[in-house]
Amino acid sequence: MKVCVSVCERNLEALWSTCERATEWADFIELRLDCLDETLEKLSEFDRPVILTFRPSEQGGHRDLTLEERQCFWNSTAPHGETIWWDVEGDLVHDLNPDWSRVIVSHHDFNGVPKDLEQIYERLASSPAAVIKISVQANDILDCLPIFQLLDRARSEGREVIAIAMANAGIATRVLGPSRGSFLTYGALDDQNATAPGQINVRQLRSLYHVDTIDHETMICGLVGLPVMHSVSPLIHNTAFVEEGINGVYLPFEVHDASQFFKHMVHPRTRELSWNLRGLSITAPHKQTVMECLDWIEPDAKEIGAVNTVVVENDRLLGYNTDAAGFIDPLLKRFKTLHGARVAIIGAGGAARAAIWALKKQQAAVTLFARNPAKAQPLAELFGISCTSLSDASFAHYDLVINATPLGSGAHIDQSPATREQLTGARCVYDLIYNPRDTRLLREANKAGCETLDGLEMLVAQAGLQFELWTGKSFSERISKLITDSTS
């Protein structure tokens, strides 16, 4: 297993200092010499292999370079040495005469997957270079498929290849690529220094996704949603895999069209990828659309009308909802009973749906508050509860006020669905948002003298139930605490 950290600096001093930091994590260091304004003459200071690149802008480089300039660089300026690899573009192959055993011949496409991907591979494979690199832009998660297929082909033909789908939709190829034969995978030294779209921070590659230990036996799970990159679910499940000693990995899958993803990559009877996929968490906006892709759905999830967990069982897909139990668990730990409790739910999306169902089971008296009551009305009717407008609402007489909107997180971090004045008189405020834990709503609630509860406990509880469905093991108290501490 090899991880290569890519270093792009403008001057030599910064280059050496970044390289020093990179050696802590990298097996290979890629020096992006097209970023450098100074000339690099020798490389004697290195104690591990380096890959030199001098990319023109049309191949993702940092400067405009003619073919002649690139030929001149590789033929007269580029350092040589036993631990020095050259990564050269395919159009240079006939103009150079290097030690081909340390050459990567590469092709980059920053627009998408080229139609002639196979031909590009064949052209590069006909060169004497030791390794072929093909890196394409993933505009959709399905763009990972040709990359995985290319890795399979190269393996069967005995060729060393690096194949990557760039961007968030391609992250699976960066994490799983090496276990499927990719010669190496690239990481960024930190989040600010990625040199290609979707390049993961090397610490995450190694200590969150554990790329070094992923193999053909590894159980693969992941989160399906849009967006997904903000999620702490990879931290939760990957921590649990390690703590339980399970050979598993949990990835973010950025999916636009869930039915296409399920057809081509998930369902064992139709997928075009052989992988050890065991389970999926489903988040917005796919909790309802995935239901039509499944072979069986547990009765509770059917009643709720949303699935947040999928289990791949032999050639069948089974759907569950762990949001409802995860939601109610923290409440039942605090309050002996919710029977007859007056509960206000703000928001009418997937989380509200599971919360209303769980509260109705506990015989609470639920009222739905929505910014658009007409739109929320069908949900209220489905569960036989009343629905009212959020604007100018007063929560004074409620035992429990629940936020099931995104207000307080992400782009809405400074917003709150209710003010201190609106909350005064309410007993407890439960914000389903977990990132950040201390939301503006909870600060308003504190000022109004209400008890407060954040969304992290729910997140861990629903994740624990998912983990049990996939692995048969539940989160121990120690794991729950470890996860809570590391996500706080």
Q: Which of 116, 64, 128 minimizes the C-alpha distance to 90?
A: 128
Applying CB under 6 A, which part among 81-89, 210-218, 268-276, 406-414 lies near ligand NAP? 406-414
CB of 401 to ligand NAP, least distance (A): 14
Count of residues near ligand NAP by CB under 6 A = 27
- In the bound state with ligand NAP, the residue whose beta carbon lies nearer, of 176 and 387, is 387
Q: Judged by CB under 6 A, which of 448, 455, 471, 475 binds ligand NAP?
A: 455
- Segment 310-339, which members bind ligand NAP (CB under 6 A)? 323, 326
- In the bound state with ligand NAP, the residue whose beta carbon lies nearer, of 146 and 455, is 455
Are residues 71 and 93 in contact, defined by beta-carbon separation less than 8 angstroms?
no
Beta-bridge partner residues of 29: 5, 50
Q: Is 371 in the site for ligand NAP (CB under 6 A)?
A: yes
Q: Is 140 in the site for ligand NAP (CB under 6 A)?
A: no
Are residues 127 and 101 in contact, defined by beta-carbon separation less than 8 angstroms?
no
Q: Is 304 in the site for ligand NAP (CB under 6 A)?
A: no
CB of 484 to ligand NAP, least distance (A): 12
Applying CB under 6 A, which part among 19-27, 85-93, 248-256, 426-434 lies near ligand NAP? 426-434
- In the bound state with ligand NAP, the residue whose beta carbon lies nearer, of 189 and 355, is 355
Ramachandran angles phi, psi of 69, nearest 5°: -60, -40
As given in the structure block, the two tokens for residue 183 are: 């010669």
The alpha-carbon radius of gyration of the chain (Å, integer) is 26
Q: Which of 399, 395, 433 minimizes the C-alpha distance to 413?
A: 433
Q: Judged by CB under 6 A, which of 106, 173, 309, 405 binds ligand NAP?
A: 405
Q: Is 462 in the site for ligand NAP (CB under 6 A)?
A: yes
Please work out, in degrees rounded to the nearest 5, the angle formed at the alpha carbon of residue 425 by the alpha carbons of 421 and 427. Answer: 120
- In the bound state with ligand NAP, the residue whose beta carbon lies nearer, of 127 and 289, is 289
Q: Is 348 in the site for ligand NAP (CB under 6 A)?
A: yes
Phi-psi region of 74 (alpha: psi -120 to 50; beta: other; left: phi over 0): alpha
| 405 three-state secondary structure | coil
As given in the structure block, the two tokens for residue 390 are: 């959020």
Q: How many angstroms separate the Cα of 76 from the Cα of each of 178, 439, 459, 474?
A: 33, 59, 58, 61
Q: Is 238 in the site for ligand NAP (CB under 6 A)?
A: no
- In the bound state with ligand NAP, the residue whose beta carbon lies nearer, of 9 and 329, is 329
Applying CB under 6 A, which part among 59-67, 210-218, 364-372, 469-477 lies near ligand NAP? 364-372
- In the bound state with ligand NAP, the residue whose beta carbon lies nearer, of 134 and 379, is 379
Q: Out of 42, 115, 287, 375, which one is annotated catalytic?
A: 287
Q: Is 422 in the site for ligand NAP (CB under 6 A)?
A: no
Distance CA 301, CA 357 (A): 10
Helix (H) or strand (E) holding 461: helix 456-471
Q: Judged by CB under 6 A, which of 277, 433, 441, 453 binds ligand NAP?
A: 433
Q: What is the DSSP string of 143-199?
A: GHHHHHHHHHHHHHHT-EEEEEEESGGGHHHHHHGGGGTBS-EEEBSSGGG-SSTTP
Q: Judged by CB under 6 A, which of 178, 222, 279, 349 binds ligand NAP?
A: 349
Q: What is the DSSP letter of 207?
A: I
Distance CA 294, CA 315 (A): 11
Q: Judged by CB under 6 A, which of 184, 352, 401, 469 binds ligand NAP?
A: 352
Distance CA 62, CA 195 (A): 10
Q: Is 418 in the site for ligand NAP (CB under 6 A)?
A: no
Distance CA 420, CA 121 (A): 62
Catalytic, 375? Answer no
- In the bound state with ligand NAP, the residue whose beta carbon lies nearer, of 3 and 402, is 402
Applying CB under 6 A, which part among 196-204, 243-251, 404-412, 466-474 lies near ligand NAP? 404-412
CB of 390 to ligand NAP, least distance (A): 6
CB of 397 to ligand NAP, least distance (A): 21
Distance CA 406, CA 441 (A): 11
CB of 375 to ligand NAP, least distance (A): 5
Applying CB under 6 A, which part among 22-30, 297-305, 430-438, 473-481 lies near ligand NAP? 430-438
Tally the residues of the chain: 488
Are residues 26 and 6 in contact, defined by beta-carbon separation less than 8 angstroms?
no
Distance CA 41, CA 52 (A): 12
- Which residues participate in catalysis according to the annotation? 287
Applying CB under 6 A, which residues contact ligand NAP? Answer: 284, 323, 326, 347-352, 370-372, 375, 390, 404-407, 409, 417, 432-434, 455, 458-459, 462
